[in-house]
Amino acid sequence: MGDQVTGALQAAAEAIRNADRLALACHVGPDGDALGSMLGLGLAARNAGKEVVASFGTPFDVAPPLRFLPGLDLLVPPADFPEEPAVMVVFDCSSADRLGELGANAGKAGTLVVVDHHVSPDDFGHVALIDSTSASTGELVHALLGELGWPIDAGIAECLLTAIITDTGRFQYQATKPETLRIAARLMEAGAVPSKITQNVYEKTPFGYLKAAGAALERATLHPEEGVVATVLHEDDLEANGIDWGDTDNLIDLIRLAEEADVAVLAKVFRDGRIKLSMRSRGATDVGGLARALGGGGHRLAAGATLTGETPEEVIQKVVSMVEDYR
């Protein structure tokens, strides 16, 4: 860690250590890194005698693959979250808008601590523990617990290893570093079991997901000159097959298998007109920069954005036309 990150780590630990009550939040529709990081710190804080609540913006529903995580009892609906928390810690979230309605609570926090591995375009948080060289927010929480001197038990370890495994794509993504694997080994020594995590996250799915994925794959289009593969998934596909959006988190990994494409795009179409883009890059394209140009954000190799007022076909064509500018 650089000096700036080390200083932020110490400041974050001091704010958390001195708090009697902690209000924790992560981004809307939390993935394994956001939820695992938040619950990992929450469990450790509760073990240290702190009063802890955790939440995320609506829809307030944990994705089925993550419902095995310890610490779900810390979660409260956004309406029950402290309106003006003395100390609020947010995870995997580089701007207030990613918190949904809890962005208002963050704006009223006495001390707002941001723990993230995404570079923020905004001046967000009183203490910003942000390190873009970390492969996951879970790695930063691991470092934060070390700075606090709080022990990591099996439940905390399971949360943090879930954060790391999911945001590194089971250690396949380029952001994975030797230190990532060393941290994972320490979490295993503390009691986390990788096979339990991967079976829950990657190897279980409702049968209806297979049908919905089949519909999305049937719609897939390849743009060979631009090196883009893209498809569309409609909310009607979910209803027809008895699943919800949380069951489809791994669909982008199917789309990105096409060897002809550097960029994979999944457009999720909601009935209210929103189109949520998920984008992945093999390395030649900065989809994080592309997503920011569309009002979203993320990493160079994994990013997303939400658009309205256009058809999914128009949105995909817009991405295809922009790709060259981000190579």
Q: Each residue's pLDDT tens digit in the chain (327 positions)?
A: 667 788 999 999 999 999 999 999 999 989 999 999 999 999 999 999 999 999 999 989 999 899 999 999 999 999 999 999 999 999 998 888 889 999 999 999 999 999 998 876 667 889 999 998 999 999 999 999 999 999 999 999 999 999 999 999 899 888 899 999 999 999 999 999 999 999 999 999 999 999 999 999 999 999 999 999 999 999 999 999 999 998 898 899 999 999 999 999 999 999 999 999 999 999 999 999 999 999 988 888 888 999 999 999 999 999 999 999 999
Is the CATH number of domain 3-201 3.90.1640.10?
Answer: yes
Q: What is the pTM of this model?
A: 0.86
Q: Residue 84 in contact with residue 107, Cβ under 8 Å?
A: no
For the 207-326 domain, the top CATH level (class) is alpha beta
**Cβ atoms of residues 326 and 286 within 8 Å:** yes
- Indicate the domain borders of the chain: 3-201, 207-326
Q: Is 308 helix (H, G, I), strand (E, B) or coil?
A: coil
* Cα–Cα dist 185/205, whole Å: 28
89 pairs with which residues across the strands?
24, 113
Return the sign of the alpha-carbon dihedral for residues 161, 167, 172, 175. Answer: negative
- Reference 68, options 251, 204, 186; nearest CA is 204
CA dihedral 239, 245, 246, 247 (to 10 degrees): 50
